A and B are shown apart, each in its own frame.
Chain A
Amino acid sequence: MTIIIRALKEVFNFFCGDWRIFWGVIATIVLAELVINFATFTYAKSFAGAIFVIGVSLSLIIALRTEIG
């Protein structure tokens, strides 16, 4: 079990290495997907791109903010 957890941790560190960035990007994707698929107004869909870029940027800012504690 420990080996599996260690292996998963290594894979995570190789691809991402930061949980804040990971969850930030995942939350952004979910939000963009919701806007694209369920937005009532057509103009809301055109904001999906902006939401996506802002979400990704915020993930980086939050990750860096915790670095300076």
Chain B
Amino acid sequence: MVWSAMLPAFLASMVEFVEALTIVLAVGVTVNWRSSLLGAGAAMLLLAALVATFGSTLVLFPIGILRLIVGIVLIFFGMQWLKKSLLRYCGLKTLHDEAAIYEEKMRELRIHGAISSAEFNGFGFLVSFKSVLLEGLEVAFIVITFGATAAANEVAGIWRAAAGALLAFLVVVILGLALNSPLTRIPENTLKFTVGIMLVTFGTFWAGEGLGIEWPLSDLFLLVLVACYLILSTLIVWWLRPHGIVQKQLKAEGGVIRS
């Protein structure tokens, strides 16, 4: 299943790269491009080293144990994404607004005072490095776990997942350069929800296999799991939406909404 390693890595990477690009752009425009791109480049090198190190270590584990561990971690990971996106759909959590984050970051950087646009700036480097490293860590983790578990050959799987992440990186960078602004048109919450469903689905399937559960229909059962979690999400949105409306009314009256 080539797609099972590439697609989740591609979609998850899109979300994280959009978030990272927002900060890199803000640092580039406000401080200077040299510091911003050096910070982003250094973080990416560190991430590549992490994927190479941990990816090769995972190959040593028997596939049954690997599937159980990776499956459990993917369920945890996916649940986080799914929970956040469902809360956002229901209005219980504010939607991720890249434009607002971009403006906020620009304001913060301007507060740091007059910065020479030609010289290397340590603060700009660190801000860019930190954002790419933190957002990239989730990508690295998904690349390693999906890659090592989705294919019979773990190394080949990691390469496929890494190719998916690289493709997402290229798409986001090209779009970012073309627009020279945060990618507000990418429906981040929908992407997050899709990735959440995929992570929980694969996590359930692999953890179940690791436990010794024999899924009916073999790999086709993944589609049944996707359907189950989509129905569950629809029911949750139907259940929570009234609470979201109440929260919005409270906010309008001066209360607080989670962000």
Contact = CB atoms under 8 A, between A and B. Distances in A.
B and A form one assembly: yes
Interface of A: 14-18, 21-22, 25, 29, 32-33, 36-37, 48-49, 52-53, 56-57, 59-61, 63-64, 67-68
Nearest to A21: B79
22 contacts: A16-B76, A18-B79, A18-B80, A18-B83, A22-B76, A36-B212, A48-B211, A49-B213, A49-B214, A49-B215, A52-B208, A53-B225, A56-B75, A57-B229, A57-B232, A59-B79, A61-B232, A61-B236, A64-B83, A64-B87, A67-B92, A68-B92
Contact of A21 (B76, B86, B236): B76
A21 B214 CA distance: 24
B211 A25 contact: no
Interface string B14-32: 0000000000000000000
B75 to A, nearest CB: 6
Interface string B56-80: 0000000000000000110111011
Nearest to A49: B213
B79 A52 contact: no
Contacts of A49: 208, 213-216
Interface string B195-217: 00000100010011001111110
B240 A25 contact: no
B228 A25 contact: no
B126 interface: no
B83 A48 contact: no
Nearest to B215: A49
B137 interface: yes
A53 B86 CA distance: 19
Contact of A15 (B76, B82, B208): B76
Contact of A48 (B77, B87, B213, B228): B213
Nearest to A58: B232
Contacts of B77: 15-16
B80 A17 contact: yes
Contacts of A22: 76
Contacts of B225: 53
Nearest to A16: B76
B228 A53 contact: yes
B79 A63 contact: yes
